[in-house]
Amino acid sequence: MGIFLKRFKTLYSTSANLTQCAYDKEIAFNLADVIVSDERGLFESTSSKIFKLYKNKKVRIR
């Protein structure tokens, strides 16, 4: 597990848009407590995969 993840006990992500609505950058920034982004920036895409991480394995939830 990366150093970044080790700093947190629990992490979670939520959609930055209303269900069944298109991505809106203003809504994303208004709803977020913290924004973690890379060189691609923020964009609309397919639904995220959700994993539960254990010490030695990960299990896909969605």
Among 54, 39, 50, smallest CA distance to 15 is for 50
pLDDT tens, 28-39? 788 777 787 888
pLDDT tens track for 1-60: 567 778 877 776 666 566 777 778 787 788 777 787 888 887 777 777 888 999 899 999
Q: What total of structural domains would you count in the chain?
A: 1
- One DSSP character per residue, 3-44 reads HHHHT-S------SS-TTS---HHHHHHH-SS----TT-S--
49/24 Cα distance (integer angstroms): 20
**C-beta of residue 60 within 8 angstroms of C-beta of residue 49:** yes
Domain that holds residue 22: 1-62
